[in-house]
Amino acid sequence: MEKIILVDGKQIKFKSTAGTLMRYRNNFGRDLIKDIIALEKKFKNVKSGIAQFEIVELDMFEKIAWSMAKTANNEIPDIEHWLDSFDSFSIMKVLPDIMELLIGNLRQENEKKRMVEQATQYHRKHHRRYPPKY
């Protein structure tokens, strides 16, 4: 899945694929799924006024955003140079769209797996192989 998101007045394409998960893990040594779940929880608390984002969460957000932008456009430079191209990068404006992309991609993958499992079960149930009769 991909989406163009307005960041600091620039249209940036973000993309979520299986490669995004690997890119994030290879570049930052972290699990993207666990980090986005943690960010989503924190986002709800920040939005409701209970908490504020800490440096750790901002760092995770920037790394997730870069990984998804890099997936969409391999010409994007390293994360520091990419972030330098923005005057501001609002987590509150961009995070909901990024979460939507990641969660949508995970739902699609889970749906594909479920369909394959159903097809496999159907095939096993209705197309059993019996030993040949002689």
Domain boundaries, the chain: 2-126
pLDDT at 109: 56
Q: How far apart are the first and last CA of the chain?
A: 54
Q: Judge contact between 60 and 41, C-beta under 8 A.
A: no
Residue 95's pLDDT band (boundaries 50, 70, 90)?
confident
Q: By the 8 A CB rule, do 42 and 27 touch? A: no
- E strands within the chain? 2-7, 10-15
Q: Look at residue 129 and give its three-state secondary structure.
A: coil
Say what the pLDDT of residue 53 is: 81
**Higher pLDDT among residues 112 and 91, named by residue:** 91
**pLDDT in the model for residue 52:** 83
What's the CA gap between 5 and 16, in Å, rounded? 13
70-82 average pLDDT score: 96
Please give the pLDDT value at position 119.
Answer: 62
Whether residue 88 is predicted with pLDDT greater than 60 in this model: the reply is yes
> How far is it, in rounded angstroms, from Cα 106 to Cα 16?
9
pLDDT at 33: 87
- Average pLDDT estimate for 6-31: 93
